[in-house]
Structure 1
Amino acid sequence: MAKQALSLSYGQAFVAPERGHHRSSMSVRLPEDDTLDTKGACALISDSTWRNAIAKQAGDLTVRGFLADYYSTPVHWDIKTSAMRVLLALNSWSHSQSSHVAEGSYVSSLSALVLRGREGHLFHMGDTLVFRLRGAEFEQLTRDHVTDLGGYRYPSRALGLDGNLDIDYLRMPIKQGDLFLFTTQAVRGTLMPSDYMQLIRVDVSDLDAACERLAEAAQVRAAERGYGADQFCFQLVRIDRLAEETPGLPERACENLPIPPELEVGDRLDGLEVEAVLSRTAQTRVFRVRDVRSGREMVLKSPSPELSNRNAYLEHFLLQRWVVERIHSPFVVKAVQRTRPSRYLYYLMAYVPGETLTDWARRHPGASLGQRLDIARQLAKGVQAMHRREVLHQQIHPGNILIDARGQVVMADFSACHRRDGDGHRSARELARQVGLNEHSAPEYALDTDVGRRSDQYALASTLYWLLTGDLPYAIEPRQLRTHTDLERMVYRSARIANPEVSPTLDDALRRALDPQRALRFRRLSEFVCFLGGQRKMAAESSTPSRVLREPVNLWQGIAGILLLLLLLSWLWK
């Protein structure tokens, strides 16, 4: 028998403005697949200020951005973690983009309600309003965050208003029949709680009609009191059926699957035959397998059988699987969807026939500067794709990078990847230490300092330095550091000494990306990537000299021929 799922009904109504555009945006999302069990349903409302020239864009972007990013968060993140991280990322983007807008800003109030199982999770910032109607009770669930300035009321603590965001969070039980009303600050001073209850209950079977009644009544009341009546919007969400109670959290259900036993070549698992053992470590097993039905070759990765009770590692294993399944980039290995039910905990990746960067460099000692910079550019693009999903790689080095027969760079090992968090990434640093530091790891991993995106930038630049020179940028390896004073012993060795093809500009960029002090590196990896693209183009142009330079013998032969012809003509004229 199928499990009973959460069921909702909703209605909406806008009052069409006489001029301009609405500054509000609303949406309800009820997934139809397993996402409903793991991430739940969402109902949102956003509202920007009436003086904002791009108010409609700000509201729409907030709602669409939240829905897109929230449902893309790792399956093992709980609801609060997922929503908070998405809102903080949206706030940072909106705040930074506002500085590039001449008129207006991407500032908006937002209330987002996530319903999953038998609980509701409300996230609120600014002055949008959410009420709950339960029986005879009509309760406001959000607080108004407003500031009076020059006789006008502006939302405070709104999304995009400041680099830091203070989010109200409310976790509450929900019941069948609960009605949630979403509206904006414009309705203040029009309808009373008794009006809401009366108008909604005229006919609760049609929520769109109920919202229309609210909008019409608010218009009439506003006109009577001399208010502007062209910016009202209402959204009603009703819980028609609660989800069936299930033990445990849905996001950890996959952890209930047993870990595969120790496998050898020729063994079969869920219709997959092991063709080769690629790796056995204390934490994982990696095999090249073949689907016995289709013949397709794949890579299977599973936790080590000895770690069946290590839940902390299993959570990290699920993050690795999420990276493969959700990060879509030509430079990150692709996940393979299972064609049959899985009886064990593992995930499948596309098999990439190729070699490591270490082997490639050994086989191509005469590769051009342009080729090497192109490899670095591809690798940086893969790292950027992970950073956009708030994931640190932490294990960038030549032995961990694959290059296929077409020269395509593919990242396929995520054993130390970690999501960015708010504790200075202390847990990320500890995970990287457990997996093992290497000669390309940033200095902060060996010291008790914060790590982050610029740590991946250091490892990327160190790998490129090695690819260009065959050496390391410092005489002392960062993983050998013991105290902060050891950083003073790290003196950069110019890449031009080992490779004169490296331009002074490229050398300076490497020096900056490899600075022992994390704060002094490029602020964003995109700056380094853009620079690499320009240097690669210059290298390609310099490696393709003009026809005149490539064929100087033919040039002089032509000049001599012309001179001979002129000499003969002068004799004839005589």
Structure 2
Amino acid sequence: MSPDNDTIITAGPLCDGPAITANVQHNSEGALQLFSASCAGLRQHNDDACAVRLPASAELQRHGSLAAVADGVANAEAGGEAARAAINGFFSDYYSTPETWSTKHAVARVLHSLNSWLFRQSGGSSEIRRGWLTTFSAVIFKGTSAHLVHIGDSRIYRVRHGKLECLSRDHSHTLGPGRTFLSRALGMDAHIDVDYRCEELQLDDIFLISSDGIHDFLSEMVLTELLLDFCSSTPRQLIDTALQAGSTDNLSGIVCRVNSVGLPQCDELAMRNRELPFAPDLRPGQQLDRFLILQELHASSRSHLYLARDQETDALRVIKTPSVNFCDDPLYITRFIAEEWTGRRVSHPGIIKAFAPATERRCLYHILEYIEGQTLRQWMQLNPQPKIHQVRDLLGQLVSALRSLQRLEIVHGDLKPENIMMRNDGRLVIIDLGGADGPGLREQLHLSGECPPGSKNYAAPEFFFGDSASHRSDIFSLGVITYELLTGKYPYPERLGNHHYRLKSYNQMRFTNASSYRNDIPHWIDAALQKACATDPMKRYNALSEFVQDLQIPNSQFKAPQKRPLLERNPLLCWQLLALLLLLSHLLYFF
């Protein structure tokens, strides 16, 4: 049968004997061809499950095509139910994950959730006979890559240039002739350890995902011959040949051939935006598509912000245009486009909204919400050294916004007071996503690994060593902002000038206690700030909630500092007093 491209097909317990009565196909005449089959073999029930999906173009770009095989553990009471639940749950949940997630992260989250559910179905028991246990092997074809996911003893093979290679590793141990013990499976334990790898696709690659009922009974030579003769009936031929070779297990197989490998797939809107010319400098009264320019709000060497009125809705909007200084800089253009792409996928009151254009744009620009208020920098200048409880409230708002980015696997990368607005009602909004980064953005938009550091006094030190940004980088920037809110100073010596900042080692940076600027800052808040602003990312907080907690409630691990000897606190005074004592003793000796 030939299903629609967006249909999931699952092969389950559909046959009663050795005949292959369960055969499903999923065929695309384009870049990918997929065919699958499943059979109970000589057993009464089929505890295997397999499924394929080749979605339409938009979903194909976001999540890719998917093929998966699950083999329910035969000794488990609910092996078949576990296999079908794993297949159905993975297909449903994976295609519901945010497109800002990397494939690896999405797979890990979905499988962790599935494993927890299967383990609970077993009553939290690791005993195999009582378990909802299944193997799981899948290949996600996305862009020019194949993402491989594997747990158990099902297998993933690839034939390239006529040579067969097994890309997965069996999670089993041999107990003796004909006896093996499965060491890993979905539902076996509360925690899960899944193999993941990413392989670049090549033209005419052929993939096979099979349960052990096939590959345990066929030699590599036979597998290679059958796969090289790729056609819609290849899965049936694999099952037929395995049965003839003496297979006594359930049998399931999915075969796939790569018919073409083009350019890496990229978000369609982002691709179109790359072709747009830069907007000219705008003046009040000018028209840009449906927007009437009212005034210029901000101008820098990198971008321009204009207040504009949407003449269709009468709403005030902010138009952000790129600077013509970078019209020939591909990295700048990609990151400018990525800012809009990110903004349209984030929904939080503490992060500025980006709107989709209603019509085709004549040039490159963003449409952003207009926020009435002042920047956090302006508020800090008017409110030097605010009360600690005020700072806690502001910090809580920023943490809430950053958590929404973390859930989408996005690192902001350029937190600073100038990039944070305070609405007239006192609520904070992060207004600039130009430094946003993350694995999902790199997959979808093909951002390079290069991520320029933000402002020198707020950027995490690892940026200056060329390391990738992480959520700990945002925690460093947040720690610096919190420190500055409390003291009006930076926790490290200010980095001045426009020259490129160089950092030789983390030890080069010396933290100054906030209490040296404000006597009312307790030692435990000082210690929390120092941990958040630690130069080494591995010594910082791992979670934003931990930082917030330690600013509200004293952490018992933060010990009050011992009073230092006078010689350390004031060496000059110490030596002066010592000299005076020596002089007095000398005078007393003579008188």
Same fold (TM over 0.5): yes
Alignment of 1:109-124 (within 5 A): 109-114=136-141, 121=146, 123=148
1:477 is aligned with what amino acid?
E
For the structure 1 residues 366 and 525, does the alpha-carbon distance in structure 2 shift closer, same or farther, using more than 3 Å as the test? closer
For the structure 1 residues 144 and 121, does the alpha-carbon distance in structure 2 shift closer, same or farther, using more than 3 Å as the test? closer
CA contact (8 A) 1:14 1:215 kept: no
CA contact (8 A) 1:31 1:40 kept: no
What secondary structure sits across from 1:464 in the alignment?
Answer: helix
CA distance in 1, matches of 2:95, 2:539: 35
**Counterpart check, 1:67 vs 2:79:** no
Structure (1 or 2) with the greater helix fraction? 1
Structure 1: any 5+ residue segments left out of the alignment?
A: 1-5, 74-81, 536-574
Greater CA drift, 277-286 or 98-107 = 98-107
The structure 2 residue matched to 1:477, chosen from 485, 490, 494, is: 494
Alignment of 1:482-501 (within 5 A): 483-484=503-504, 487=507, 490-495=510-515, 498=518, 500=520
CA distance in 2, matches of 1:121, 1:247: 12
2:95 is aligned with what amino acid?
L
Deviation at 1:296, TM superposition (A): 1.2
Identical counterparts, % of pairs: 18
CA distance in 2, matches of 1:361, 1:520: 28
Deviation at 1:103, TM superposition (A): 5.0
Greater CA drift, 460-469 or 166-175 = 166-175
CA distance in 2, matches of 1:366, 1:247: 51
CA contact (8 A) 2:145 2:198 kept: no
CA distance in 1, matches of 2:502, 2:209: 56
TM-score relative to the length of structure 2? 0.65
What secondary structure sits across from 2:334 in the alignment?
Answer: helix
Alignment of 1:110-509 (within 5 A): 110-114=137-141, 121=146, 123=148, 125=150, 128-129=154-155, 143-151=167-175, 152=180, 154=182, 167-173=197-203, 183-189=210-216, 226-227=248-249, 229=250, 252-364=271-383, 368-419=387-438, 431-432=452-453, 436-437=455-456, 439-446=457-464, 452-474=470-492, 476-477=493-494, 483-484=503-504, 487=507, 490-495=510-515, 498=518, 500=520, 502-509=521-528
For the structure 1 residues 320 and 120, does the alpha-carbon distance in structure 2 shift closer, same or farther, using more than 3 Å as the test? closer
Deviations 1:493-512 (A, max 9, x none): 13485152x44433321121
Structure 2: any 5+ residue segments left out of the alignment?
A: 15-39, 127-131, 555-591
What secondary structure sits across from 2:95 in the alignment?
Answer: helix
Deviation at 1:345, TM superposition (A): 2.1
TM-score relative to the length of structure 1? 0.66
CA contact (8 A) 1:278 1:287 kept: yes
For the structure 1 residues 170 and 515, does the alpha-carbon distance in structure 2 shift closer, same or farther, using more than 3 Å as the test? closer
For the structure 1 residues 282 and 472, does the alpha-carbon distance in structure 2 shift closer, same or farther, using more than 3 Å as the test? closer
For the structure 1 residues 517 and 130, does the alpha-carbon distance in structure 2 shift closer, same or farther, using more than 3 Å as the test? closer
Q: CA RMSD, aligned part only?
A: 5.4
Deviations 1:465-496 (A, max 9, x none): 2222333334x236797554683661431348
What secondary structure sits across from 1:391 in the alignment?
Answer: coil
For the structure 1 residues 320 and 181, does the alpha-carbon distance in structure 2 shift closer, same or farther, using more than 3 Å as the test? same
Q: Which residue of 2 aligns with 1:44?
A: 67
Deviation at 1:443, TM superposition (A): 3.5
Deviations 1:503-534 (A, max 9, x none): 44333211211223332111333422444566
Deviations 1:230-280 (A, max 9, x none): xx65668899xx999999975634311222222122211121111222222
CA contact (8 A) 1:440 1:478 kept: no
CA distance in 2, matches of 1:196, 1:10: 25
CA contact (8 A) 1:300 1:346 kept: yes
2:320 is aligned with what amino acid?
K
CA contact (8 A) 2:12 2:49 kept: no
Q: Which residue of 2 aligns with 1:31?
A: 56
For the structure 1 residues 122 and 429, does the alpha-carbon distance in structure 2 shift closer, same or farther, using more than 3 Å as the test? closer
1:493 is aligned with what amino acid?
N
CA distance in 2, matches of 1:106, 1:530: 39
CA distance in 2, matches of 1:161, 1:121: 22
1:111 is aligned with what amino acid?
A
CA distance in 2, matches of 1:322, 1:344: 16
CA distance in 1, matches of 2:140, 2:265: 22
For the structure 1 residues 274 and 167, does the alpha-carbon distance in structure 2 shift closer, same or farther, using more than 3 Å as the test? same
CA contact (8 A) 2:49 2:71 kept: yes
For the structure 1 residues 317 and 188, does the alpha-carbon distance in structure 2 shift closer, same or farther, using more than 3 Å as the test? same
Deviation at 1:422, TM superposition (A): 14
Deviations 1:43-88 (A, max 9, x none): 2315477389996677666555543447445xxxxxxxx5456557
**Counterpart check, 1:520 vs 2:539:** yes
For the structure 1 residues 166 and 243, does the alpha-carbon distance in structure 2 shift closer, same or farther, using more than 3 Å as the test? closer
